[in-house]
Structure 1
């Protein structure tokens, strides 16, 4: 099992109160737009990963991200991106992610949590499947100053 490879979608539990939080009746379209933006970013991530586009892979993560995976040291943005360069540059194995199975997106102001499942397939250079790993993930997103949603905490754990 690949314990050192975090699935993006993963993250620490954040208890949110008052999700969809405004007293005014016009908050729902904003929440819907936020959920759509987060979902779009998550769906684009495996395309970037599978294309071996390290810059696009790292772009989903905030500069102050904490990436957490069992049995490995927590990683910051630089350590995570360095890891992705190694994984995506690997010439002996091919790592591919399927689309995320997004179970829930909760938005509260400038924070959001996402519960999802990622499926990673590892193949050798001949295309034979070496391993398939399903990982539960819980991600905490934070709206950035430019309005984009990025992962602030990513916590993945194998099923």
Structure 2
């Protein structure tokens, strides 16, 4: 049986899927250091109701949210497209946010579009991220 040669595009798609999964795992673990390792230096986040922000604005928002809440995200990839050194994913996310001080958990749901850029060393890093997460009625 001849060995199957993996095409670069398939390898890149798999790598993007792995970065997506690692990102969600790090979000759920509250692992800011790991998230920084998965994002480009010029990353831009677009969140509803906020001005776009970059790497400098990320730690305070992320740390505060995790300090005050237990957060669990489930992200279902719906699309992965790789074109050269850029890729994007479209996913459906649901987020459970439970206050550490007690009280009712909030549920958020929506879609997220993420752009990844391939680095010169072959790694894929998150470069742009925009989501439509909004509160879900119980």
* TM-score w.r.t. length of structure 2: 0.84
The C-alpha deviation readout for 1:2-31, integer Å capped at 9, x for no partner, is xxxxxxxxxxxxxxxxxxxxxxxx8x7111
The offset of 1:76, in angstroms, is 0.6
Q: How many residues align?
A: 130
Greater relative contact order (Cα 8 A, min sep 6): structure 1 or 2?
1
Against the structure 1 CA distance between its residues 70 and 29, is the aligned structure 2 distance closer, same or farther, given a 3 Å change threshold?
same
1:12 corresponds to: none
The offset of 1:34, in angstroms, is 0.7
The C-alpha deviation readout for 1:110-139, integer Å capped at 9, x for no partner, is 001111112110113377652111121111
Give the RMSD, CA atoms, in angstroms.
2.0
2:52 corresponds to: 74
Against the structure 1 CA distance between its residues 133 and 35, is the aligned structure 2 distance closer, same or farther, given a 3 Å change threshold?
same
2:18 corresponds to: 40
The offset of 1:149, in angstroms, is 0.7
Residue aligned with 2:53, SS: coil
> Where do residues 57-136 of structure 1 align in structure 2 (5 Å cutoff)?
57-90=35-68, 93-98=69-74, 100-125=75-100, 129-136=104-111
2:117 corresponds to: 142
The offset of 1:152, in angstroms, is 1.2
Aligned with residue 152 of structure 1, among 103, 127, 136: 127
Structure with the higher strand share, 1 or 2 = 2
Residue aligned with 1:89, SS: helix
> Which structure 2 segments of 5+ residues have no match?
none
Aligned with residue 33 of structure 2, among 55, 79, 90: 55
> Which structure 1 segments of 5+ residues have no match?
1-25
Contact 2:93-2:133 at 8 Å conserved across structures: no
* TM-score w.r.t. length of structure 1: 0.73
The offset of 1:143, in angstroms, is 0.5
Residue aligned with 2:120, SS: coil
